[in-house]
Structure 1
Amino acid sequence: MNTRFINFEGIHGSGKSACAWNLYNNLNMNNINAVVFFEYHMDSTIENPCDVRMTAVMTEKEFEAVIQNYSIYEEVLRNKVKIYNGWYCIFLPDVKEFPIIKALLGQYVADNGNLETDRFMLALISRITAFVEQALTSDQVYVFENVIFQQILNELMRTMDCDEQQMMDYILEVEQILRPLNPLIFYLYPDDLKEQINKVALERVSDNNELYPDWIDWMVEYLKNSVYGRIHQVSGREDLMIYFEKRTSIEEKCFGKLLSNKEKIYVDRMDYDEENEYIYSKL
């Protein structure tokens, strides 16, 4: 195979995880050594090498200050930390047996707008650069979902401290870093975005509303509690659709500018088997 990096992007419910899993299985059945990583991995104790969410991102000074203040945990912290271009990173599931450590690292976790854009992107770029360097020494084919679009856009749009062009520039920078792996990007796209979101809302319903809400209501709250949500006064599902439409618009512009091999797949125009056969044929 020419490509060593395959990524699936698309809106919620478009089939990214299913397609990634099917492709991974097909590759291995055809004696191609492949590994798959999902946006939030099915086994959440496995660190995604192209993602810094669920990760505490610190400068050396901040890391040493944590150790100085909590010296009892120094050995654990030094054993768990990984350094990428000067960023001291600890994957939170690696310290799950130490609730106090998870709590004290909380302010540095690269998720939900916790970090400023510059820190989030510098850490992500450093992490992906390290992945590419490692991948070039391996014979594996890496299958991912949401490395370049959703991971970056969803985080940066909600923090609202950079504009559309800056977000696009960040995405194109990440793509350039990945280029030595000859990336192949599949963008799964519905004919009707609103209908797709409504479909997902009907499918992802809670079986215990006292414990957790339906997916669509959780998404509204997730957006409402962000900087974007406060600025745009997000209060309901219509506001959520406006957000999805804006994000999808930026994704399409970025997709048009990608220089890597890429395929836009209209998911409503193929059945599941046809879609997966088409994806495999492009390899």
Structure 2
Amino acid sequence: MLDTKLIFIEGISGSGKSTITDFISNLLTQHNIDHNTYFEWAENHPICGEDDVWLNEDKQSSLYRYRQLNYAKWQEHITNLVNSDNISIFDSSLMQTPLNAFILLLNENFKTIRYFYKRLYKIFHICNPYLIYLRQNDVYLTISRVYNSRPREWGDFVIKYICNSPYGKEKCLKGFDGMVKYFSERQTIEDRLFLTYPYKKLQIDNSDFDFEKCEDKVREFLYL
């Protein structure tokens, strides 16, 4: 029986987060375990996203507002969760969405990012949250694969979003190569966050996109 109320799936774009999230959801269904699954940009997503900041204030005010909104919404969700029989599965909500805000839009350093997570982990404590992290050895290959497999509109949007951000402008990021540089930097920060994550966690090298192998490891990790 799972001893968690929260399962996080993380990794850079194209690492297989959605595939593994679907697998976990189906696995819990097979075991008659009640759960809710939240994908990035889902309309019913309970946690604030980047758009809740926005930079119509000075940087420090935006940073404070972003942190407080996240803490408040996570606290509300956790309170509801512990009083229910459900498990929540989150794709991209622990690392990807906050890091995009902290790095791209707020252009913050790791010390500030680490401070945010230390308090967030305390909010999660009562749920004994699990983290599954899909890591890629070759970021260029992974981003090339997802860039070429998704609609061109997706790639154009992500490149524009990254390169026109405060971080992208400071780093002079341009085009596809600029996008790859950002994802490489973000994965480096995700690596550091994974090492300091204080609850049950699993890192999977999914560089070969062998999802049968990934699913076996996830099933063993969840004891299902």
Higher relative contact order (CA 8 A, sep 6+): 2
How far apart in 2 are the matches of 1:21 and 1:126? 27
How far apart in 2 are the matches of 1:114 and 1:34? 37
How far apart in 2 are the matches of 1:245 and 1:183? 26
1:181 to 121, 127, 135: 127
> Which residue does the alignment assign to 2:161?
222
How far apart in 1 are the matches of 2:180 and 2:214? 26
Percent identity between the aligned chains? 24
How far apart in 2 are the matches of 1:270 and 1:11? 13
Equivalences for residues 1-283 of structure 1 within 5 A: 1-41=2-42, 44=43, 46=44, 48-49=45-46, 51-53=47-49, 109-110=51-52, 113=55, 116-206=62-152, 213=153, 215-269=154-208, 271-283=210-222
How far apart in 2 are the matches of 1:222 and 1:267? 26
Extract unaligned runs of 5+ from structure 2.
none
Contact kept, 8 Å, 2:9 with 2:90, in 1: the verdict is yes
1:134 shift after superposition: 1.1
1:262 shift after superposition: 0.5
Contact kept, 8 Å, 1:113 with 1:226, in 2: the verdict is no
How far apart in 2 are the matches of 1:9 and 1:172? 18
How far apart in 2 are the matches of 1:114 and 1:282? 43
More off after superposition, 262-271 vs 131-140: 262-271
How far apart in 2 are the matches of 1:226 and 1:198? 21
> Which residue does the alignment assign to 1:99?
none
1:114 shift after superposition: 5.9
SS of structure 2 residue aligned to 1:282: helix
Going from structure 1 to structure 2, the CA distance change for 1:243 and 1:233 (only over 3 Å counts) comes to same
Deviations, residues 168-203 of structure 1 (Å, cap 9, x unaligned): 221232222112101110000122111101111111
* Letter paired with 1:53: G
Larger radius of gyration: 1
* Letter paired with 1:14: S
Structure 1 runs of 4+ off > 4 angstroms? Answer: 111-115
How far apart in 2 are the matches of 1:15 and 1:270? 8
1:2 shift after superposition: 0.5
Aligned positions, number: 217
